[in-house]
Structure formats: structure tokens, C-alpha cells
Amino acid sequence: MEKKYLSSLILLLIIYSSIYSVQGQNLYLGITHDFNMGPNYEFSTFAQAPLIWNENSNQTLYLNITINSLPDNISSIEVNAITYVIYGTDTDEDGVQLAFSSDTPQQSINTIGEEIQLEQIFIPTTLADTFFINITILARTKGNVTEGENNPYSFRFPQQETIFIDRENNLVPLINLYGFPPSSFFAKWIPIYLSAIFIMAIPSMITGVSILRDRRKLKNIGGNENE
Amino acid sequence: MSEISIQIRRVTEKVRQYFEVFGFIPHPQMSRGRSSIRGKRRLGFDEIECVVAETARGTSIGFYAINSFQALIYGVPYLLALSLLLLNQIEGVSKYITGEKALLSINWLKLLLGTSEVSFSLVLILLVLAVLPFILEFYHQRIRLSNLKSRFSFFTREAIWETREAPPALLALQAARSVIMHGWMLAIIYFGVFSSQTDSITELTSLYQTNNADLYYAISDAFSLTIGLIIGLLSANKAISMRKEQSRFDKRSRIIGNLIERRIDPILFGVSSASYTIIIFGFFISATFMGDVPIMLGFQMMFFALFGAVLAGLIHQEGMLWTSMSYAIFIFFSSLVFIFRTGEQPAYAFIIILQLFFIPIPFILQLSSNFGKILKKYKITSVSWLFESIPIFSLISIFDLNRKKEISKKRYLESLDQEILIDDIEPRIQIGKEILLDKNSPAHKLVLHYYELILSYTASFDEDKFIYIPNATQLNKWWCDTTKQTVETTQNEFVDFTDQILWDPSFLPPQKEIMNYEKIGEMMVLAIK
């Protein structure tokens, strides 16, 4: 290796490492979902949160709700409750509901284009390494005359991907010997092993017996091997 | 007995010597005008019969091979396993083999064959492994026959043959036979953990925090690595030994060339023979024990077999101890490879402890190489018993040899009842000695022993030598060389005593002395039989 290329390689290494370094604070903008509460009556929402969560700190999810269109007889939309349900996507936790939190903001939106932003703080769960959140919004229309129905609208954040929890203290030891097998295993296995060893040792046993027999014959006859 | 012509005796003796060199036990049966020598292989049941006859144009020899189906004994374990497999399909019997009432609560098919399902490839490979040794022995016997015939081509009626050469694939496959059985036994030990009917694995898998499928994959992985190395080592070692043995009879199998070629040739031959073995063994194992794992493990086994074969070719000259040491080192090496995987897959920790139990096996194999010294006493020098789990033919041969020796001795003793035909004895002998004519007297037997010794002495020389009747010293020296025993003082006087009885008219010893010398003569004759 030539020494003059070494500095360029070190520079490349630094650039590469900065691309792949995990900072975890870049917010990911979720897809905007439009929900139709009635004719000519629509609101849209999107969520924002980082896709990689650090294990040791709390994370914040930002939820934006806007009204797209509002008919005349409806004056405002009131957001009553928002529930956040975390579903795991590890193979063991696939589809399992891991955590549940809710928020009751009781805020209303009156005009088109008005935007409210809600925050929800999450503590990273220990049950799974990857998950997604199902956000359900319970919104109610308020009209001049009557109060409308509550309708839940739910969507998944992030739409296609999953959120990943970056655990730092995940040291798996390189060599982990768990100890000796239990005696119940040996009780079944030792007979198989010993019979195989016995079969393989048949020539040695015959050799030993033959040597003993020759010695005994020599002792009896007194050194004379003639028959 | 003295009516048998010297030419027949001489040719029979020569054929008998060649049979001994080629590893056959000769049983000559001589009669007036012809003799037949049945050569039975010392290690095996094949026979070659040689018929020597006196014709008008001289002595003629014919060789005939007598093959028997007894080589199918090598396939008995595979046939037993196949019959168990087929018996399991019958409703009433299957509960004793793999069902509720299984003996010792072991699933026998899972223990012996790894699966209970009958598939085409499993039945095929078991049949092939059962019949293959027989076909190879049959083919090898024809080659031996042609090699023997070529030595006697100037005696035989037909022209000189182009002798067949034993192809290297034949030697490699013959070496494969015992190594595949050894590998099968190791597979039984490895996968034996899955064969119990009672639930002995749950404690194991919970201790190692794994599950059955991961444990099975880990065991298959370790098995393919370790057994690949071991099979490569053993099959290459045995194939090189068998080629060396074959080269005693056939110069074409000898390794020629300069020093480097002579070192590299065994390595290449070992690698090619190991590849034959590992392909057959790979088929067998993927049909039986490792049926549910990816095919990449089979390729891993073949790859590591080549490593083992190269090592075997390098260390073959050093002997059996180095082979056993490399066997043990291979086990350590594969344990070392898996020790670094225990972090991600805990089942490998179990594998490492399992493989420690395999360390005694190479040293048991090495101890059994002393079995070769016992076989040398019976003049069995072939190596086809090496690495055999149950050396059936060797054991049967040893029992058989003792039995045959007794039979040939008994046959000689029964032949002492023949009368000495007066016409064949020189008229100078004092026929008036009554003791010689009575065929039950010890003097009669004494003279028969004497004639047998002298005629055997004469027949042991080549045709073109002019042979004198031996004196006492020469006869005793020949006797010592043939039987590899030392001579006692009374034996030295045997020939002189018999000479005196035959030629000295005034020599009339007491009966007891004649009986003593008769016993000595009988011992001398039986020792050379």
C-alpha cells in the first residue's frame, strides 16, 4: 500500500461513516391522510416522528390536523380523543399490541386551513425492536343546531415502514457456553454411544484375548510352542 | 503316496507357493496323475481352484474361479435396516418399532435411519450399498484370477493372456465400504438425541434456549463439517493402503517416478477415492439423516472431505498413529469453528460437548491396528479389514483357519493307513524286516513320515535344479526355514535313525525307541502341513 493514498482513504472513511451514522433526530414526514366526514366535509392529517428511536430517551410524535373543506351548516370539528396503539413487527411480536396511550385534546378547528398540532410523548417499549403506530382520531362535528356523531378515523404511521429502536447495550457475548447437557439427555444417549464404541472395539478385544491366551499357553507348556 | 509323480508334486508346490503369496490358503489334494489345489482366500470366501494334470504333452494347469454369494454379508446391516423400514409399514408391527410399544422406548427407525418414511431414494441407496460390495468382490476376483494365470502361462494350455488391471475406481469403492459404515455409526451417535420416544429433549432445548429445529440444523451443520473431514481422511488412507497391497501382484499399480511424483501421486489418488466415497455417503445421508436441511450442508461435507483426503495423502507413510492423531485434531478443529458461533446460536454449545465424546474413537481404531499382528500370525496380510466396524470376515477366517489346519492334519494321519507298495521301493532294501511290512507298526509310519519329508523337500525347489537326497543337516535346516521353529536335539537324529532302519540290515532297535522317533517324525510332518 502506498503511503500517499492513505490520507484519501481516511477521508473517505470519515465521509462514509457520517452518512451511516445514526443520529436519530431527523423527523420523518408521514403520508397525509384525508378523511371524509360527510359530503364536502374533509379533514386531513399527517404525523411526524423520527424513524429511529434511541432507547434511553423519550420520543415525541407530532400530529397535524387540518380542515380541507367545511360545509355551511357545520361550524367546527372537535377532536375529542386520539389513541396511539403500538404494534410490534418482530417475528415474535408480529401484530401484537404492545402499548396504548391516549390523549384528549378537546380542541376544535373552525376555519378552512387552520391547523392544530398535537404532541404525544412515547417511552420506547422494551417488548420489541421494530413497530408501527396505529393512530385513531375521534372527531366530532359541531354544527349550528346539533352535535354530530363521533367517528373514529385511524391510520398507520409510518405507512409502509417500521420504527426501529436503537438499543446500545445489546452486548451478546461472543462465546457463550451454557454448560453441560442435562442428565435426562445422557440417560438416553449413553447406551447408544457405548454400544457403538463396543462394536468398534471388537478387534482390540480379540487382540487382547489372543495375547492373553498365548501367554497362558507359554506358561503351561513352559516355553515350548510346538503343538 | 510315493506313487505321485515328482512333476505333479513340484508344480503343485509352486502353485501352493503362489497361492500363499497372493493371499490364499492352499489345500492341495494329490493323487496319481493329477492334483487339485483349492485356494481359499484368507480374508474372504472366494476360492480359486487349480487343477494340475499330467498329459501326454506334459503338465497342464487350469485355473477356475469359484465365487460365492457370501460377500453379501457386508450388506446385511443395510438389508436389516431396509427390512425394518418395510416392516414399519405393516400396522401390527409398526407399534413395536416406532409406535407406543417400541422396545426400550426408542424410535428405532429414527435412531438407525433418521426417517420413518419410505422414499424411492432411500430404498435405492440402501439396496445399492447392500449389493455394491458383492459386485466389487466378484470383479476383483476375476482380476486376481487373470493375474495368477499370467504367472503360469508357460504351463497352461492356452496362450498368454493380456492381464487385466485393477482400475483405481475399484480400489476406491472397496475402500469406501468400511468407511461408509463407520460414518453411519457416527451419524447414529450424532442424531441419536432425536430418537427417544419420551420427552428428553425439552430439558435440553430449554437449557440451551433453543428449539428443536435450530438444534437439528446445528447438529447437521456440525456433522457435515466433522464427518466430511473424517471420511476424507479414512477413505483416502484405506484406498492408498489397498493400492499398495494390489501393487504386490500387479506392477502397474506401483507408484513410479521421481521423489516429488512419488509423494504427490498418493495425494491425488486419495483425493479421487475420497470423492467417490463422499458422493455415495452424501446420497445416503441426505436420504436418511439430513433430509430436512438445505443442500448446502451436503456440499459443505464434500468440500471438507477433500481437505481430509489431502492430509491423508501427506501423512500416509507415517502410519496409523498419525492418522488417529489427525482424526482427533479434526474433531478439535470443528469444535473450535463452532465455539465462535455459540453467541448467536446456543445449540452449538451442546455440539461442542457432544463432539468431545468422539475423542476416544480414533484411539480405539488405532488400538485395533494391533489386530493386524494377530492376522499376520495366520499369514493374512490384506488390509480390507481396516476401519471395519465389525471385521466379520477376519473373525470367521481366524476360526476357519484353525479348523482347516486340524482337518489337513487329520487327513494326513488317516493316509498313513496306506500300504507302502513294494514295487516302488528299491530292491536293495531288506524287505525281510517284518516291522516294515505291517502297516500298523510304528516303523511303517516312521518310514512314511520320512518319505513325506524328503518329497516335500524335493518339491520345494525349482525344476531346473538338480537335487540330491538331503542329509540330516540339510533336511533340518529346510524344516526350520519352512516352519520358523527351532530344532531339538532328537530331531537331528530322526533322519539318521530312519536311514539306519531302512538300509542297515542288522539294526533292530527296541519298539519304544521306534515309537519315540515316530512321534517326532509325525510332529515334523504335521508342522509343515
- Cis omega before residue A158 (within 30°)? yes
Mean pLDDT of chain A: 78
Q: Across the interface, do A185 and B200 touch by the CB < 8 Å criterion?
A: yes
How far does B102 lie from chain A, in Å, by closest CA? 14
Nearest to B349 among A177, A182, A200 (CB): A177
Average pLDDT over residues B78-107: 86
How would residue B426 be classed by pLDDT, with cut points 50, 70 and 90?
low
Which contiguous run of DSSP H or E holds residue B134? helix B120-151
Q: What is the mean pLDDT of residues A131-137?
A: 86
For every residue of B62-128, DSSP letters joined together read EEEEE--GGGGGGGHHHHHHHHHHHHTTSHHHHHHHTSTT-GGGB-HHHHHTS-----HHHHHHHHH
Q: Is A207 an 8 Å CB contact of chain B? A: yes
The span from the CA of A80 to the CA of A24, in Å, is 31
How does pLDDT run across B307-361, given as a tens digit for each residue? 999 999 999 988 889 999 999 999 999 999 888 887 778 888 888 888 989 999 9
The arithmetic mean of pLDDT across residues B153-173, rounded, is 73
pLDDT band at A172 (very low <50, low <70, confident <90, very high): low
Q: How far apart, in whole angstroms, are the C-alpha atoms of residue B313 and residue B325?
A: 15
The pLDDT score that the predictor gives to residue A144 is: 56
- How many whole angstroms separate alpha carbon A52 and alpha carbon A28? 9
Higher per-residue pLDDT: B462 or A76: A76
Are A154 and A134 contacting, i.e. CB atoms less than 8 angstroms apart?
yes
For residue B414, what are the contacts with CB-CB under 8 A and spacing of at least 6? Answer: none
Q: In whole angstroms, give the CA distance from residue B236 to residue B241.
A: 9
- Put simply, whether A20 touches B (Cβ < 8 Å) is no
What pLDDT was estimated at residue B129? 93
Q: Has domain B1-66 been given CATH number 2.20.25? A: yes
Set of chain A residues whose Cβ sits within 8 Å of the Cβ of B339:
175, 177
A226 band by pLDDT with thresholds 50, 70 and 90:
very low
Chain B CB contacts of A193 below 8 Å: 189, 192, 357
ipTM of the complex: 0.73
Look up residue B195 and give its DSSP letter: -
Q: Residue B247's closest CA among B315, B311, B168, B132?
A: B168
Q: For A216-225, B382-391, B458-467, which range has the lowest pLDDT when averaged over its residues?
A: A216-225
**Contact residues, A window 154-173, toward B, CB-based 8 Å cutoff:** 172-173
Q: Which residues of B413-439 are buried (b: 16+ CB within 10 A; e: fewer)?
A: eeebeeebeeeeeeeebeeebebbeee
CB A85 within 8 A of CB A136: yes
Mean pLDDT of B185-189: 92
For B45-76, the pLDDT digits (tens) are: 788 898 888 888 777 788 888 877 878 888 89
Cell 537324529 locates to B493
Tell if the CB–CB gap between A175 and B189 is shorter than 8 Å: no
**Which range, of A72-86, A123-137, B79-93, B318-332, averages the lowest pLDDT?**
A72-86
Nearest to B147 by CA among B161, B168, B133: B161
Mean pLDDT of chain B: 83
Q: Does A201 contact B367 at a Cβ distance shorter than 8 Å?
A: yes
The Cα B13–Cα A221 span in angstroms is: 33
Of the candidates B111, B185, B364, the beta carbon closest to that of A201 is on: B364
Task: Kindly report, residue by residue over A5-63, the tens digit of the pLDDT.
Answer: 788 888 888 777 766 655 545 788 888 888 877 677 778 888 888 888 887 888 888 88
- Give yes or no for A193 touching B (CB within 8 A): yes
Cβ atoms of B264 and B316 closer than 8 Å: no
pLDDT confidence band for A221 (50 / 70 / 90): low
pLDDT band at A95 (very low <50, low <70, confident <90, very high): confident
Whether A223 has a pLDDT exceeding 50, the answer reads no
Is the Cβ–Cβ distance between B371 and A204 less than 8 Å?
yes
- Return the number of other C-beta atoms located less than 10 Å from residue B42's C-beta: 23
- pLDDT value at position B173? 92
**Cβ A175–B185 below 8 Å, yes or no?**
no
Contact between chains at B203 and A180 (C-beta distance less than 8 A): no
Q: Note the pLDDT of residue B275.
A: 94
Q: Do A189 and B193 touch (CB under 8 A)?
A: yes
Residue B431 has pLDDT above 80, yes or no: no
Quick one: pLDDT band at residue A227, thresholds 50, 70, 90?
very low
The band of A150, judged by pLDDT with boundaries at 50, 70 and 90, is low
Q: Tell whether A225 is within 8 A of chain B (Cβ).
A: yes
Looking at CA atoms only, how far is residue A209 from chain B in angstroms? 11
pLDDT of residue B273: 93
Q: Match 447437521 to its residue by C-alpha cell.
A: B220
Measured between alpha carbons, how far is B46 from B25 in angstroms, rounded to an integer?
11
Q: Give the pLDDT score at A225.
A: 45
Q: Which residues of A touch B371 (CB under 8 A)?
A: 203-204, 206-207
Question: Where is mean pLDDT largest: A78-82, A188-192, B235-239, B447-451?
Answer: B235-239
Per-residue pLDDT of B254-312, as tens digits, reads: 888 888 888 899 999 999 999 999 999 999 999 999 988 888 999 999 999 999 999 99
Hey, of A172, A174, A192, A210, which one would you mutate to test binding to chain B, going by the most B CBs within 10 A of its CB? A192
d(CA B379, CA B522): 23
Say yes or no for a CB contact (<8 Å) between B371 and A176: no
